[in-house]
Amino acid sequence: MGTRTEAYVDTSAFIALVDASDTYHPLFRRLFADPPRLVTTPLVIAEGHGWFLRRYDSVRALQFLAMIEAMKPLKVIAVSALQQTASIALLRQFSDQRLTLTDGLGLHVMAERTSSTCWSTDRHLGITGVPLAIH
């Protein structure tokens, strides 16, 4: 089981990759330089786009989207109504945590796809046992 199969990428990993002032920037530059298969959701992309739009401007937000479009081997998976419902159930299950719907969907996707790791700086995304890229 030493092979890398798939990593779920959260918004914070994309931000750390792009933002050189982020504490985890060196780690994510290294990880993205030689990635396994990567998956994320449209909610992560929307959250990242919004972050760059609020923090910078529409030019940087569009550059973020262009980076996502060009990134290989990243797959942005479609989200079904059933997955959304399951995500909300996870939010209820872990109501003691400050999880967003984006987080809940990420937790569900990682469980559904049996992702080998989660690329995120948000420690609460490890609550279901998927190892985080940060230690």
Interval 30-81: pLDDT, tens:
999 999 999 999 999 999 999 999 999 999 999 999 999 999 999 999 999 9
1 CB neighbour count, 10 Å cutoff: 4
Domain coverage including residue 11:
6-126
Global confidence as pTM: 0.93
Residue 135 counted as domain residue: no
Residue 132 counted as domain residue: no
CA distances from 55 to 28, 45, 58 (A): 20, 15, 10
**Three-state SS at 75:** strand
Residue 48 counted as domain residue: yes
Check if the beta carbon of residue 55 is closer than 8 Å to that of residue 47.
Answer: no
Query: How many domains, in total, are found in the chain?
Result: 1
**Residue 39 sits in a domain of what CATH number?**
3.40.50.1010
